[in-house]
Amino acid sequence: MATYAIGDIQGCFDELQQLLNHLNFEPAKDTLWFAGDLINRGPKSLETLCFIKQLANKQVSVLGNHDLHCLNLYFTKEYKKITKSHVLYPLFQNNQCAELMHWLSNQPLLHYDSQVNCLMVHAGIPPDWDLATCLKKAKEIETLLQSDKRSYLFKNMYGSEPKKLTHNTSPTDSLRFTINSFTRMRLLDADKSLLIKEKGKPKPKDIKSSKPWFSFPRKLDKNITLLFGHWAALEGKCPIKNIEALDTGCVWGKNLTAYCIETKQRHCINCHKK
């Protein structure tokens, strides 16, 4: 019986199957956690979603920025404008699409398991948020996403502002800050403001004072193992104790990684394109 947390798949269904073979994964005994960005960019988003959905309670997925983007395309009906060359075309054309999109919209932004004391999120958590705050903020988004008011969320979720929460932050801006933190965050400025890359502006890494979000002292209980994906350039390396980086760039022909929660061992397969 094992629980494996797996990094960003991004529609790389074949590589996921290779990894599961490598792990001798048995659905009757083992559980899979997915750190988000299940789909998009890679070739088999449809197959990936169908497979993960049928695992039912033997899987846990948190939503990543690409998953939210796909939900946005579906629920705003923008997907109807997508042409054959788009990687998500087969998913949107499939007769299971509505079911898959409703399933996806019911997945959380954050997953905490008290038995193993592990928290999983796609990008990261703001250093000033403890576990209760994280769960409360995630719940706000999840509730909206699962309601018929989700169009309000899709209309307002894009953008790089606000960089910080203040007592003046509007509820809508606060929701965007939560989404940006949980699904897009990489670097923070010295005052812990979010540095989300904007088109035409210098890349956050050009700002000298910036540091990865996990380099700041965290309010989250340090005994909680924090699992995250999203940042392939880290190549799975995070220097902070009890924080595991899981995105190892499968879709870029690098590796796909599973972290076994019980043994704390990392398992990796090579995704070099043949």
Q: Which is nearer to Mn ion, 25 or 120 (CB)?
A: 120
**CB 171 to Mn ion: min, Å:** 25
Q: Is the peptide bond before 162 cis (omega within 30 degrees of 0)?
A: yes
Determine how many CB atoms are found less than 10 A away from the CB of residue 85.
Answer: 6
**CB 252 to Mn ion: min, Å:** 12
CA–CA separation, 140 and 217 (whole Å) = 25
Q: Which is nearer to Mn ion, 60 or 123 (CB)?
A: 123
Task: Look at strands 194-195 and 187-188 and give their pairing.
Answer: antiparallel
Give the number of C-alpha atoms closer than 13 A to the C-alpha of residue 130, restricted to the C-beta side: 2
Q: Which is nearer to Mn ion, 37 or 142 (CB)?
A: 37
* Edge-to-edge strand list for the sheet holding 59-61: 59-61, 31-34, 3-6, 255-260, 266-270
- In the complex, residue closest to Mn ion by CB: 230
**CB 46 to Mn ion: min, Å:** 19
**CB 148 to Mn ion: min, Å:** 27
Residue 181, SS3? helix
Determine how many CB atoms are found less than 10 A away from the CB of residue 203.
Answer: 11
Q: Which is nearer to Mn ion, 25 or 249 (CB)?
A: 249
**CB 224 to Mn ion: min, Å:** 22
Q: Which is nearer to Mn ion, 176 or 230 (CB)?
A: 230
CB-based contacts of 115: which residues, under 8 Å, 6+ apart? none
State the virtual CA torsion across 101, 103, 108, 112 in degrees, nearest 10: -150
Q: Which residues of this chain interact with Mn ion, rule CB under 5 A?
A: 37, 64-65, 230
**CB 247 to Mn ion: min, Å:** 7
Q: Which is nearer to Mn ion, 37 or 47 (CB)?
A: 37
